[in-house]
Amino acid sequence: MIKIAITGPESTGKSTLAGQLAARYNTVWVPEYARTYVGNLGRPYTLEDIENIARGQLALERELQEQANTILFADTDMLVLKIWSEHAFGHCPAWILEELQQQKYNLSLLMGVDLPWEPDPQREHPHLRQFFYDWYKRELEALQTPFVEISGQHQERLQQATQHVEQLLQQHQR
């Protein structure tokens, strides 16, 4: 199973790209568990909620991996939860950090901030997108995670991502 994480700041097209790639490769994608969880919360989220979201994300990925066809695309990963937790609460629970160290993606697609901001009640930081992008990049480098930067408008992003997925598939066929 080839696993690809789509990561990066808010409003950078992660869900759109995950859906497009899953359709192109006739497989499933793991949506962002936080979207439904926070959408149904009815109050400000807490650190405990972030932990619940992390558990839900991991469980959803395990469930959908069984339905995947050779390749699985994840709309989010533990890196998103680490950065969210550290920014919102000043620290991240140790078990999430451990899960982050153990997550095994063949590739991460780091989504650039060059798409226009799209308002959404769950999005919090339109003015900090470059700040978060730089943070994600530093973390991916520190984790020594294989990643590529994806930029441009939607069609360009899909083309870039597809090119990298094809290279990965060719490597795995050897």
Reported pTM: 0.94
DSSP annotation of 128 reads: G
pLDDT confidence of residue 174: 74
DSSP string covering 76-126, please?
A: --HHHHHHHHHHHHS---HHHHHHHHH---SEEEEE-S-SPP---TT---G
Q: Mean pLDDT throughout 126-152?
A: 95
pLDDT confidence of residue 123: 67
| Percent helix, percent strand, percent coil in the chain, to nearest 5 | 55, 15, 30
pLDDT above 70 for 121: no
DSSP annotation of 48 reads: H
Give per-residue pLDDT as tens, 60-88. Answer: 999 999 999 999 999 989 999 999 999 99
CA of residue 121 relative to chain centroid, distance? 19
pLDDT confidence of residue 172: 87
pLDDT confidence of residue 173: 82
As a whole-number percent, the residues of the chain with pLDDT over 90 amount to 86
pLDDT confidence of residue 117: 80
Distance CA 147, CA 157 (A): 14
Mean pLDDT across the chain: 94
**CA 16 vs CA 22, 73, 106: distances in Å:** 10, 11, 20
Domains of the chain (ranges plus CATH)?
A: 2-173 (3.40.50.300)
* 20 vs 122 pLDDT, higher one: 20
Q: Are 49 and 85 in contact (CB under 8 A)?
A: no
Distance CA 144, CA 95 (A): 19
Scanning the structure block, which residue is given the tokens 């650039």? Answer: 112
